Structure 1
Amino acid sequence: MTLLDLRNLRITIPTARGDLNAVRGVDLTLAAGETLCLVGESGCGKSLTAMTLIGLGPKIARTTADRFGLLGQDMAGQKPRAWNALRGRGLSMIFQDPMTSLNPTLTVGRQLTEGVIRTEGLSRRVAEARAIDLLERVGIARAGQRLGQYPHQFSGGQRQRLMIAMALMSNPKFLIADEPTTALDVTIQAQILTLLAGLQRDLGLGLLLITHDLGVVAAIADRVAVMYAGRIVEEGPAAAIFRAPAHPYTAGLMAAIPVPGRTPRGTPLPAIPGRVPGLIGAVTGCAFRDRCARALPVCAAAAPLQTRAGGRMFECQNPEALS
């Protein structure tokens, strides 16, 4: 089953200096049971895309798409009632920072159960039983006792587990996780990734994971979509992209990862020079050209050449050699 079928998503935000073309023609697909990682630098449009996919994009934004398929429904132009029904049953999201996403004035039991009580008409007892089961599944001990506690009484890793349990309360088919390990230390990050991978496998979820950490991608992804300046510049199976990245931006990201046993201690890691370009007004040519060692004169004038082959897609006039 195809859970996400997105074609030519464009998000434009009006500003005092002109229109900000934040997302510029994004295509994404996701099947049931699949994990797709959307990666890229901060500010490239990953989180904005995720928030739009769950119907929570900025109200001032102008959003268009040739196709906006979610769980078999066309969500283009849908009213809030339709989005509320979808979020309450088939679509859910884990947000970046659990401490700012959880309400400090309400018990975690109230926050876990209020959505399903409203959307599914469950009794409080049944909803709390589901919450206890999910808290135990995500590794929260003494779950029944902890329903009456508040978010500040949980550690950072436990609060992220609470967010995962909350996202699963509605038995979603499609789960979006936006930087779910950013605020956690490395040991807890590994635990959360293992937990997500196990839940995705056991429940058959389609998982869209937003991250800038390629280590996370290597651990969990079936497919990877690399985003730069509001566009997907490379997409394909994770193993193939890690083995032989085609887009120079992807290759630059890969080169910046230290490899245990191969990267000499104390040596500086390669870095991509320059900065992400501004996206106010029209963007001509390739947005990466000023940072790219493989740029050609044509890159300034013509849109990047899109190539599709072997289940992969990349946009570049002068790609890296594939092996």
Structure 2
Amino acid sequence: MTAPLLDIDDLHVTIPTDRGDLHALRGAGLRLESGKTLCLVGESGCGKSLTAMSLMGLLPRKARQSAGRFALMGTDYAGKAPKAWANLRGRDMAMIFQDPNQSLNPTMTVGVQMTEALRHFEKLSKAQAEDRAIAMLDRVGIADPRSRLGQYPHQFSGGQRQRLMIASALIGRPKLLIADEPTTALDVTIQAQILQVIAELQDELGLGLLLITHDLGVAAAIADDVAVMYAGRVIETGPVAQLFAVPAHPYTQGLMVAIPVPGRTRPGTPLPAISGRVPGLIGGVTGCAFRDRCALAGDGCASDPLPRHAFASGGFVECTRPSLSETRP
């Protein structure tokens, strides 16, 4: 059996604070196959972006990370020196950040920023690297790419800067692309264009895509599989069609009913909301972190470990009282 492109299990990230240790990721796990799209969804603050930063080796300096398995393309890097994983950045994996204004260096030209990793990893000449950059800028829809290599990020529009981020991430032809809310600050038309560019390049290059989003509509449109995160743990995963049709975890169900349905949800109608708030993670959490907001919570929800039900069609749910169905065995 071929190893998955990305296989992360029991990932913990702890950040020391003045009030004690913040257990930001509490045994999270992800699995992504080559050429597939996995969407990581959940409320703000649940750990989605921190998971991406952990995968890229870009955690805050004081953060402590551990994992039972931290594998890319069949090689497990758990316990190895951080430099071993860092050497994969820009070559085997790359990331599209949420805000290009904070990710692009305003003092360096676009050409220098795009070609730096190419010249380091592939030992290309300046001319060869610039030719690759020009081709990639043209591929993502930036006009007159040769002249734009000498420009600075502020000379690009918001949508163009996001396209520039995509081009910069993909110029090294990575196997894994992580996209953290890549369309959040864009209008609907530009958002659709950016997602289309990413999908086309994914198909063209055969890369695996981990898309982090709070927009379930985006996940439904482009994902092969979905992982639902809550309070630093992945609590439910599965093929997108089945997870949306038959969500098993009460939290996932709460997310689904909050989605407006075209033609059925009347404009101005209040959408259902999950009551309560995400628990604080300083000092740790035992049992199900969702239990204080869950109508189905019982005594067993406070104990560890929580039962995990695996689906024959792929994925799992971590819950004492999941809603199971014949359509999702």
TM-score w.r.t. structure 1 length? 0.96
Alignment equivalent of 2:33, drawn from 26, 31, 34: 31
Residue matched to 1:69: 71
Partner of 1:284: 286
Aligned-partner residue type, residue 297 of structure 1: D
1:171-228 CA distances to partner (integer Å, 9 max, x unpaired)?
1011111111111111111111111111111110100011111011011100000000
The residue that corresponds to 1:175 in the other structure is 177
Q: Which letter does structure 2 place at the counterpart of 1:148?
A: G
For residues 291-310 of structure 1, the aligned pairs below 5 Å read 291-301=293-303, 303-310=305-312
Helix, strand or coil: the match of 1:234? strand
Separation in 1, partners of 2:189, 2:255: 23
In structure 2, which of residues 77, 80, 93 is the aligned counterpart of residue 78 of structure 1? 80
Equivalence for 1:10: 12
1:217 to 216, 219, 228: 219
How many angstroms apart in 1 are the aligned matches of 2:56 and 2:69?
Answer: 15
Do the aligned partners of 1:85 and 1:119 also contact (CA within 8 Å) in 2?
A: no
The answer to whether the 8 A contact 1:34-1:207 is kept is: yes
Say whether the 8 Å CA contact 1:11–1:21 is kept in structure 2: yes
Structure 2 matches for 1:197-276, cutoff 5 A? 197-276=199-278
Q: Is the 8 A contact 2:56 2:86 kept in 1?
A: no
Distance in 2, matches of 1:82 and 1:277, equals 35
Return the alpha-carbon distance in structure 2 between the equivalents of residues 96 and 283 of structure 1.
Answer: 29
1:318 alignment partner in structure 2: 321
2:200, 2:90 → 1: CA distance? 23
Judge which range, 47-56 or 290-299, deviates more.
290-299
Aligned 8 A contact 1:20 1:281 in 2: yes
Summarize deviations over 1:130-172 as a string: whole Å, max 9, x none. Answer: 0011011111111111111111111111100000000011110
Contact map agreement 1:151 1:159 (CA 8 A) in 2: yes
User: How far apart are the structure 2 equivalents of 1:142 and 1:256?
Assistant: 43
What is the aligned residue count? 323
Cα distance in 1 between the residues matched to 2:42 and 2:11: 17
Same amino acid, percent of matched pairs:
67
d(CA) in 1 for partners of 2:135, 2:81:
33
1:58-81 Cα distance to aligned partner (Å, 9 max, x none): 221121111111123222233354
2:29 alignment partner, SS class: strand
Distance in 1 (CA, whole Å) between partners of 2:231 and 2:213 is 15
Deviates more, 1:301-310 or 1:126-135: 301-310
Cα-Cα RMSD: 1.4
Distance, in Å, in 1 between the alignment partners of 2:54 and 2:36 is 20
Matched with 2:123 is 121
SS in 2 for 1:5: strand
Aligned to 1:56: 58
Q: CA deviation at 1:321?
A: 4.1
How does 1:105-184 map onto structure 2 within 5 Å?
105-184=107-186
Distance 1:198 1:160 in 2: 16
Any runs of at least 4 consecutive aligned residues in structure 1 with deviations exceeding 6 A, and if so which?
Answer: none
Q: 1:170 to 1:285 in 2, by over 3 A?
A: same
What letter matches 1:4 in structure 2?
A: L
Contact 1:3 1:174 survives alignment (8 Å)? yes
Task: Tell me the alpha carbon deviations over residues 249-285 of structure 1, each in whole angstroms, 9 at most, x when there is no partner.
Answer: 1111111110100112221100011110011113122
Range moving further from structure 2, 194-203 or 303-312: 303-312
Does the 8 Å CA contact 1:71/1:90 hold for their aligned counterparts? no
SS in 1 for 2:269: coil
Unaligned stretches of 5+ residues in structure 2: none
CA distance in 2, matches of 1:134, 1:244: 40
Q: What amino acid maps onto 1:210 in structure 2?
A: I
SS at match of 1:298: helix
CA–CA separation in structure 1 for the residues paired with 2:47 and 2:265: 31
Distance 1:84 1:278 in 2: 31
The residue type equivalent to 1:126 in the other structure is Q
